[in-house]
Amino acid sequence: MRKHGLSENGGATETGDTLRNLTLKGLEAASYELRRPVTEMGSTARGAGSSGASHPITVNETVIAMLRPKPNMAKLAQDPPDVRAAAQAAVEAPGGIGTIASYWTEVPLPATGTWNAPGKGGAQADIVLTAPQDQVPLLFIEADNCHETAEELAAKLEKYARFFRRKMKDTDGKERPMWRTRWNAPDTWSGDRTHPPVLLVFNRVGERNPNLTIPRLIDLTRHLWEGERQKGGHHHYDGRIPIIATGLNNLRQHGPTGPVYLRFGRDHMEPLREAIGNPRREAADARAREEAKARQEQHQAQVRRAAQEQAAKKAAEREARRPACTDCGATFTDERWKAIEHVGRGASPEPRPSLCEDCDRRYVIDVQQASLPEQKAGGTWLSRFRR
């Protein structure tokens, strides 16, 4: 790459590690390969080598630890057994997050000015990760070599907060958070309307002990991350920044899926996806949905029982009113009951409403026979009703 002018020597660290920079030409080539605009490729890190280059190297190692690329075993067939064994272990280890195109480095976060011409008061993210396919739609990452104090880190997080709160008009004319004009993310994270999460990765090469820095940093930034406790024991983090911390060694060893991430305000380590989310709220919301569903089903069952009881009561009352034949004593069918309601409406001959259908039919036959001259009325069935 140096032969073609794509990279240059960026210097070496105190431990002898060498840094290679991409030149402007190299950034253009990388932007083509990654299908990303040159303006989003970050800087050339010029001068990093003369200052020790430790921070750019830590940023690179953080990306590799998050990405956890899998070696191609076919290309290592001729390598020594120990190299192939280490590569095989990497292949079998849990995967990382995203692809190389998911990571941006040295990204300005302007609190004033524009994306291309940031003003004063803003931050610059060491890494921005976008991997919605791995349930990490947007994550800002800060790599710290343990040279900065808790106060300095808190000031940097305040700059993040200023950037997250900044709003501007989007291309549709609607005002929305500035970060949403560049990156996509859900309106809620685990049910909370939070700002995007920030991950702090501590690399213990400096004089400061992160085990002492982190508790102090937690206190200094409490107003940025602290949620509101709910009756169920979980918290709501609307308008807050999920701030998470881990060590680079733990990140290398366990990757994003290992329980090595401490969310500020919690007392236990979690995998990354749980740390940036709100599992307790998700569980509480799930319980609330199940309870609401149970109450709804119970209410519907009560309504059905009440309807059934009402229908049964109406049916019993109706049966109590059902007429019976005065001749044979049989109760009327529904059809007969409906038919006698039309008595007096021009039926010929008019049915007798006190008789069932069979008795009424015989009555009609007797009436017809009684009208014949040769038929004696006294010997007919009709005579029973003339006595």
Backbone angles phi, psi at 42, to 5 degrees: 85, -170
When pLDDT is averaged across residues 338-366 and rounded to a whole number, the result is: 75
For residue 344, name the pLDDT band (cuts at 50, 70, 90): low
Residues 6+ apart with CB under 8 A from 29: 6
Backbone angles phi, psi at 77, to 5 degrees: -60, -30
For residue 343, name the pLDDT band (cuts at 50, 70, 90): low
More confident residue, 113 or 339: 113
Q: What is the DSSP letter of 139?
A: E
As a whole number of angstroms, the distance between CA 184 and CA 379 comes to: 100
Measuring CA to CA, which residue among 290, 274, 257 is closest to residue 67? Answer: 257
Backbone angles phi, psi at 138, to 5 degrees: -160, 125
More confident residue, 341 or 260: 260
Q: What is the pLDDT of residue 71?
A: 85
Please report how the helices 150-165 and 210-220 are oriented relative to each other, as an axis angle in degrees rounded to 10: 40
For residue 350, name the pLDDT band (cuts at 50, 70, 90): low
Q: What is the pLDDT of residue 50?
A: 45
- Residue 102: is its pLDDT beyond 80? yes
For residue 143, name the pLDDT band (cuts at 50, 70, 90): very high
Q: What is the pLDDT of residue 233?
A: 86
* Token duo for residue 208: 């400061």
When pLDDT is averaged across residues 271-280 and rounded to a whole number, the result is: 93
Is the preceding omega at residue 69 within 30 degrees of 0, hence cis? no
Which whole-number Å values give the CA distances from 271 to 12, 20, 261, 274, in the listed order? 34, 32, 6, 6
Measuring CA to CA, which residue among 342, 321, 343, 316 is closest to residue 332? Answer: 321
pLDDT tens per residue, range 321-334: 999 999 999 999 88
pLDDT tens per residue, range 160-198: 999 999 999 998 999 999 999 999 998 888 889 999 999
Domain residue limits, the chain: 1-52, 54-277, 281-321, 324-387
